[in-house]
């Protein structure tokens, strides 16, 4: 054996999309023999390898953190292998060989939660994107697809359940208290989809009969005591399986589908073929511990991971620059599924709110990147709202342009043509073009240009029932992309009469594909009011100077529920921006518009609950050239108070009318809880004492977590004595439930109180706080960093706190540390004094010895 002098971590190298080269070697078959033990797991891998074409290059296998104990070629031990950095290089003469390697790894010492690791009493894996190389030597890239056979051996008492991808083929006991199981996955897959789980687990089982009549055994695996909390996830799985058959014609393909919930997980969940592994927060729910939002998220994530079976597993990505190929499409699919399960209008409002809160700021800051990036240091940093959520909007626009039938034909073509292969974003768009009969050449700019396009829309009425609509688009400069081309923006629009509120035109889909466009309207019976980007048909920012009265008219009369919500939001935003800019504002128009919504008996409570909600402090900040967190907080608090006082009887009526006798998880019951809790918060704004008493009574009397957490949030933002009491009761009641304790931390971290920054520093020393669990780290640190006013505390203590936590967490878990960092990169958005403190903290992070490339990449890009 030759150990290279270079066997030290290489300097971070940039990976570029343009440098893609197809693999030198194919690996059609892989057999893994894994002898599990938390301290010392032995992994033997047998790879059949085939030279891809006439080249003379050696076989290169990725590894990370281990060394090979032995390497054999065609059954003979060799010693002319070498390590280049962590890559195992094996010289080979022929065109087909069998390679065996053996390594030992220590899952209990794996704090990164990538590869094979221990969580609770379980051993489990996370391989996307590049975790498989931490388990064994392999070409750890998504375009190398192998058929896996996996044999797992483990102590039977400690790990009675042994799971891997595919279907089980054999199992048995050994003398020494150990046992084994063998699994085979007939579908060729990339290494990032490998999974195994071992542990003392119990299953909630069901069966699903596919459209062609095959029986699939379903199981959700959890700790025995959590079994009662798995019903909702299991229902969602069955609904998702039926939906994918009905809407996309996609049938499940194995005899078994397993889901395992684990407590320590870097992300939401993972679509490993036949064996999805989930963060337990996206599986476990009962009314006492999970909110309506949790229930909805569980259904959405269960569906998302299930849908990946086709959009991700059967058709995977050629390289990681194509990540949005599977993620954007699959988010679009899960959003459509959720829309079909409840109120489509409310779902669209929620999705747009997430896009604006998470993706627009990313697109406007130093970390902006196109949905198909051009380069990265660490791919884990690109699991972003841009790849996922903007990626989903790009798919949605193509679906809008094609229409439902052509879109379905296009997805059929895509699945058909690329089944069993690793594809690119261009392949997907090619299918859209071919089946849709459209030219998407210019549309493809959505894949290469970063930044949120802005559309300026002006509607000028002319004499004689005419009007001229002028549209202009502008895509702002982003890092590395100073000049942009005009994009294709599908804008749904309609005109309404300013006097009657009646529609004056049909809805039209305008494709704005040039810098400017003019559209004339004739025969208008009244002065027209513009309703634009209806249903949020394009992920853009529309600037259209519309008077408060016109926005109020749309909020009362628009027939598109999203546009109606949007008009309310715009009216409130205009009011709040005026207040921040001038120190005060007239609240009358906003108050009257909210009154009208509350009095409209035709509206669903769920919709009202959304429409009367104030824009968040961050979203108000996004409208301003320089964010003044204190002024924004004051302006928002003042409008909240005035809305509370002016409409107090209506809030009290909404509170009373939407009470439920007992808990039910139905769209209607959810809507009532939503509106009732929004009303509670306005009552507390109008009457802090009485509101706190009402909140405390709800907190104590309710039978569900939605109402309890909402009451706690209202109390946690106030100054009443009930606040401390409620926090204590909540803590004591749920001290053995990690997911609910996360809520206890995040509710305090999101509080609007003056002392939140200090409280959060103290909570970081609470015995229940730990950075080792990603959910807990995000619940406190992640939540605090998006609490605009608390994070931007004038002392700079918020920045210091975040930097301290990122530095500490980086030593354990670089991926999760790097994901907490982006709020520090928003320094261009605040005053120079704050900006200097933020940059100083970023520089302190960059100067930390031994920094991971995850955090290094995010921090250095954030300083640019």
Nearer to ligand ARG, 308 or 492 (CB): 308
Nearer to Zn ion, 330 or 473 (CB): 330
Q: How far is CA 157 from the centre of its chain?
A: 37
Taking CB within 5 to 8 Å according to partner kind, which of ligand ARG, Zn ion, none is near residue 445?
Answer: none
- Least separation in angstroms between residue 411's CB and ligand ARG is 19
Q: Is the Cβ–Cβ distance between 345 and 607 less than 8 Å?
A: yes
Taking CB within 5 to 8 Å according to partner kind, which of Zn ion, ligand ARG, none is near residue 380?
Answer: ligand ARG
Q: Is the Cβ–Cβ distance between 444 and 429 less than 8 Å?
A: yes
Nearer to ligand ARG, 317 or 488 (CB): 317
Binding-site string for ligand ARG from residue 318 to residue 357, where x marks contact by CB under 6 A and - marks none: ---------x------------------------------
Could you give phi then psi for residue 208, rounded to 5 degrees? Answer: -130, 130
Nearer to ligand ARG, 266 or 280 (CB): 266
- Least separation in angstroms between residue 784's CB and ligand ARG is 23
Quickly count: other Cβ atoms within 10 Å of residue 16's Cβ.
12
What is the crossing angle of helices 738-749 and 705-716, to 10°? 30
Q: Which of 180, 221, 267, 745 binds ligand ARG (CB under 6 A)?
A: 267
Nearer to Zn ion, 354 or 840 (CB): 354
Q: How far apart are CA 533 and CA 599, in angstroms?
A: 26
Q: Per rule CB under 6 A, is residue 194 in the interface with ligand ARG?
A: no
Q: Per rule CB under 6 A, is residue 316 in the interface with ligand ARG?
A: no
In this chain, which stretch among 47-55, 143-151, 265-273, 662-670 interacts with ligand ARG, using CB under 6 A? 265-273
End-to-end CA distance of the chain: 44
Q: Per rule CB under 6 A, is residue 681 in the interface with ligand ARG?
A: no
Q: Which of 383, 521, 696, 801 binds ligand ARG (CB under 6 A)?
A: 383
In this chain, which stretch among 125-133, 136-144, 246-254, 694-702 interacts with ligand ARG, using CB under 6 A? 125-133
Q: Per rule CB under 6 A, is residue 128 in the interface with ligand ARG?
A: yes
Q: CA separation (Å) from 533 to 457, 498, 540, 662?
A: 10, 19, 8, 39
Does residue 350 have an active-site annotation?
Answer: no
In this chain, which stretch among 123-131, 168-176, 445-453, 498-506 interacts with ligand ARG, using CB under 6 A? 123-131
- Least separation in angstroms between residue 138's CB and ligand ARG is 17
Q: How far apart are CA 553 and CA 361, in angstroms?
A: 30
Q: Per rule CB under 6 A, is residue 116 in the interface with ligand ARG?
A: no
In this chain, which stretch among 104-112, 268-276, 428-436, 848-856 interacts with ligand ARG, using CB under 6 A? 268-276
Q: Which of 49, 64, 92, 129 binds ligand ARG (CB under 6 A)?
A: 129
- Least separation in angstroms between residue 322's CB and Zn ion is 13
Q: Is the Cβ–Cβ distance between 525 and 501 less than 8 Å?
A: no
Q: Is the Cβ–Cβ distance between 61 and 139 less than 8 Å?
A: yes
Q: How far apart are CA 553 and CA 498, in angstroms?
A: 7
Q: Is the Cβ–Cβ distance between 147 and 808 less than 8 Å?
A: no
DSSP string for residues in 704-724: SHHHHHHHHHHHHTS--HHHH
In this chain, which stretch among 60-68, 148-156, 266-274, 463-471 interacts with ligand ARG, using CB under 6 A? 266-274
- Category of 825 on φ-ψ map: left (φ > 0), alpha (ψ -120 to 50) or beta: alpha
* Count of residues that bind ligand ARG according to CB under 6 A: 15
Nearer to ligand ARG, 131 or 609 (CB): 131
Could you give phi then psi for residue 193, rounded to 5 degrees? Answer: -95, 5
Q: Per rule CB under 6 A, is residue 592 in the interface with ligand ARG?
A: no
Q: How far apart are CA 846 and CA 856, in angstroms?
A: 6
Take residue 281 and report the two structure tokens written for it: 């927060």
- Least separation in angstroms between residue 354's CB and Zn ion is 15
Q: Which residues contact 673 (CB under 8 A, 6 or more apart)?
A: 292, 658, 660, 704, 706, 707, 710
In this chain, which stretch among 124-132, 589-597, 678-686, 787-795 interacts with ligand ARG, using CB under 6 A? 124-132
Q: Per rule CB under 6 A, is residue 317 in the interface with ligand ARG?
A: no
Q: Per rule CB under 6 A, is residue 302 in the interface with ligand ARG?
A: no
Helices (H), 290-377: 292-307, 323-341, 344-354, 360-363
Could you give phi then psi for residue 823, rounded to 5 degrees? Answer: -55, -30
Q: What are the strands, taking DSSP E only, across 342-497?
A: 375-376, 421-423, 454-462, 466-474, 489-497
Q: Is the Cβ–Cβ distance between 292 and 673 less than 8 Å?
A: yes
Q: How far apart are CA 547 and CA 559, in angstroms?
A: 19
CB hemisphere CA count around 405 (13 angstroms):
1
Taking CB within 5 to 8 Å according to partner kind, which of Zn ion, ligand ARG, none is near residue 707?
Answer: none
Nearer to Zn ion, 49 or 113 (CB): 113
Nearer to ligand ARG, 267 or 699 (CB): 267
In this chain, which stretch among 237-245, 263-271, 722-730, 801-809 interacts with ligand ARG, using CB under 6 A? 263-271
- Category of 40 on φ-ψ map: left (φ > 0), alpha (ψ -120 to 50) or beta: beta
The residues with which 733 forms a beta bridge, in sequence order, are none
Active-site residue identified among 305, 592, 617, 841: 305
- Least separation in angstroms between residue 382's CB and ligand ARG is 8
Q: Per rule CB under 6 A, is residue 270 in the interface with ligand ARG?
A: yes
Q: How far apart are CA 322 and CA 382, in angstroms?
A: 11
Take residue 861 and report the two structure tokens written for it: 């890009």
Q: Which of 100, 305, 560, 622 binds ligand ARG (CB under 6 A)?
A: 305
Q: Which of residues 778-817 bind ligand ARG (CB under 6 A)?
A: 815
DSSP string for residues in 651-693: HHHHHHHT--SS---SHHHHHHHHHHHHHHHHHHHH-HHHHHH
Q: Per rule CB under 6 A, is residue 236 in the interface with ligand ARG?
A: no
Nearer to ligand ARG, 145 or 488 (CB): 145
Q: Per rule CB under 6 A, is residue 841 in the interface with ligand ARG?
A: no
What is the crossing angle of helices 425-436 and 391-402, to 10°? 10
Nearer to Zn ion, 327 or 810 (CB): 327
Nearer to Zn ion, 276 or 618 (CB): 276
Q: Per rule CB under 6 A, is residue 271 in the interface with ligand ARG?
A: yes
For residue 860, cis peptide bond before it (omega within 30 degrees of 0):
no
- Least separation in angstroms between residue 330's CB and Zn ion is 5
Q: How far apart are CA 239 and CA 723, in angstroms?
A: 40
Nearer to ligand ARG, 388 or 791 (CB): 388
Nearer to Zn ion, 330 or 531 (CB): 330
Q: CA angle, 454 as apex, 588 and 542 as ends, to 5°?
A: 30
Taking CB within 5 to 8 Å according to partner kind, which of ligand ARG, Zn ion, none is near residue 269?
Answer: ligand ARG
Taking CB within 5 to 8 Å according to partner kind, which of ligand ARG, Zn ion, none is near residue 28?
Answer: none
Is residue 373 within a helix (H) or strand (E), and if so which, with residue range? none
Q: Per rule CB under 6 A, is residue 37 in the interface with ligand ARG?
A: no
Q: Which of residues 304-343 bind Zn ion (CB under 5 A)?
A: 327, 330
Could you give phi then psi for residue 459, rounded to 5 degrees? Answer: -115, 115
Taking CB within 5 to 8 Å according to partner kind, which of Zn ion, ligand ARG, none is near residue 423?
Answer: none
Q: Which of 136, 165, 230, 266 binds ligand ARG (CB under 6 A)?
A: 266
- The DSSP code for 503 is B
Taking CB within 5 to 8 Å according to partner kind, which of ligand ARG, Zn ion, none is near residue 294?
Answer: none
Number of H-type helices and E-type strands within the chain: 30, 31
Give residues in contact with Zn ion (CB under 5 A). Answer: 327, 330
Residues recognised as catalytic: 305
Give residues in contact with ligand ARG (CB under 6 A). Answer: 126, 128-129, 266-271, 304-305, 327, 380, 383, 815
């Amino acid at each position: 054996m030759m150990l290279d002098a270079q066997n030290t971590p290489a300097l971070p190298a940039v990976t570029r999309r343009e440098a893609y080269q197809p693999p030198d070697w194919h690996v059609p078959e892989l057999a893994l023999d894994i002898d599990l033990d938390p301290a010392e797991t032995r992994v033997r891998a047998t790879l059949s390898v085939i030279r891809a074409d006439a080249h003379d290059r050696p076989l290169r296998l990725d590894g990370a953190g281990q060394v090979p104990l032995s390497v054999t070629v065609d059954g003979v031990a060799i010693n002319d292998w070498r390590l280049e950095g962590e890559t195992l290089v094996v010289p080979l003469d022929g065109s087909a060989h069998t390679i065996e390697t053996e390594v030992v790894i220590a899952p209990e010492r794996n704090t990164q939660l990538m590869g094979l690791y221990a969580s609770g009493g379980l051993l489990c894996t996370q391989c996307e994107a590049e975790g498989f190389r931490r388990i064994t030597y392999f070409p750890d890239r998504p375009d190398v697809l192998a058929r896996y056979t996996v044999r797992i051996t483990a102590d039977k008492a400690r790990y009675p359940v042994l799971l891997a991808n595919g279907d089980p083929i054999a199992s048995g006991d050994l003398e020494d208290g150990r046992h084994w199981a063998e699994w085979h996955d007939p579908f060729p897959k990339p290494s990032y989809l490998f999974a195994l789980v071992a542990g003392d687990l119990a299953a909630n089982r069901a069966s699903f009969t596919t459209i062609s009549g095959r029986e699939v055994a379903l199981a959700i695996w959890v700790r025995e005591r959590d079994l009662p909390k798995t019903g909702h996830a299991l229902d969602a799985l069955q609904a998702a399986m039926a939906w994918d058959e009905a809407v996309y014609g996609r049938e499940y393909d194995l005899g078994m589908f397993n889901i395992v919930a684990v407590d320590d997980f870097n992300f939401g969940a993972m679509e490993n073929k036949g064996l999805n592994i989930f963060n337990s927060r996206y599986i476990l729910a009962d009314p006492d511990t999970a909110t309506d939002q949790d229930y909805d998220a569980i259904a959405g994530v269960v569906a998302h991971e299930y849908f990946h079976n086709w959009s991700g597993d059967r058709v995977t990505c050629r390289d990681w620059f194509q990540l949005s190929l599977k993620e954007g499409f699959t988010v679009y699919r899960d959003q459509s599924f959720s829309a079909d399960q409840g109120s489509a209008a409310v779902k669209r409002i929620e999705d747009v709110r997430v896009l604006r809160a998470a993706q627009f700021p990313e697109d406007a800051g130093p970390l902006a990147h196109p949905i198909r990036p051009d380069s990265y240091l660490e791919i884990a940093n690109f699991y972003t709202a841009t790849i996922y959520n903007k990626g989903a909007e790009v798919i949605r626009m193509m679906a809008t342009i094609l229409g439902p039938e052509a879109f379905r034909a296009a997805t059929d073509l895509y699945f058909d043509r690329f089944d069993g292969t690793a594809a690119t974003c261009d392949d997907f768009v090619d299918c859209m073009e071919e089946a849709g009969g459209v030219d998407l050449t210019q549309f493809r700019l959505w894949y290469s240009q970063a930044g949120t396009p802005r559309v300026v829309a002006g509607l000028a009425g002319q004499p004689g029932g005419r009007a001229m609509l002028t549209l202009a688009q502008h895509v702002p400069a982003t890092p590395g992309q100073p000049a942009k081309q005009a994009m294709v923006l599908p804008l749904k629009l309609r005109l309404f009469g300013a006097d009657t509120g009646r529609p004056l035109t049909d809805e039209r889909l305008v494709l704005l594909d040039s810098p400017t466009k003019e559209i004339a309207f004739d025969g208008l019976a009244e002065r027209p009011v513009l309703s634009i980007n209806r249903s949020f048909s394009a992920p853009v920012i529309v600037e259209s100077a519309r008077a408060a009265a016109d926005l109020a008219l749309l909020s009362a009369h628009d027939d598109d529920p999203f546009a109606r919500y949007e008009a309310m939001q715009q009216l409130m935003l205009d009011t709040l921006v005026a207040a921040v800019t001038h120190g005060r504002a007239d609240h009358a128009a906003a108050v009257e518009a909210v009154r009208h919504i509350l009095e409209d008996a035709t509206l669903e409570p769920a919709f009202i609950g959304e429409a009367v909600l104030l824009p968040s402090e961050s979203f108000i900040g996004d409208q301003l050239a320089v964010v003044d967190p204190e002024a924004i907080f004051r302006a928002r608090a003042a409008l909240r108070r005035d809305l509370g006082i002016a409409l107090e009887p209506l809030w009290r009526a909404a509170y009373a009318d939407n009470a439920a006798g007992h808990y039910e998880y139905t769209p209607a019951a959810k809507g009532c809880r939503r509106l009732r809790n929004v009303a509670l918060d306005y009552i507390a704004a109008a009457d802090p004492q009485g509101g706190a008493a009402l909140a405390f009574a709800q907190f104590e009397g309710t039978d569900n977590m939605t109402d309890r957490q909402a009451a706690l949030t209202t109390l946690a933002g106030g100054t009443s004595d009930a606040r401390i009491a409620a926090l204590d009761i909540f803590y004591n009641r749920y001290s053995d439930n990690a997911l609910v304790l996360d809520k206890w931390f995040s509710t305090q971290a999101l509080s609007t109180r003056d002392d939140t920054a200090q409280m959060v520093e103290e909570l970081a020393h609470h015995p229940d706080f730990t950075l080792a669990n990603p959910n807990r780290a995000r619940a406190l640190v992640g939540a605090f960093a998006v609490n605009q006013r608390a994070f931007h505390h004038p002392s700079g203590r918020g920045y210091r706190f975040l930097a301290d936590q990122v530095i500490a967490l980086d030593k354990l878990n670089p991926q999760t540390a790097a994901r907490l960092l982006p709020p520090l990169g928003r320094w261009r958005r605040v005053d120079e004094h704050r900006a200097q403190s933020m940059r100083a903290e970023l520089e302190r992070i960059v100067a930390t010895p031994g920094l991971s490339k995850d955090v290094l990449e995010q921090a250095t890009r954030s300083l640019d």
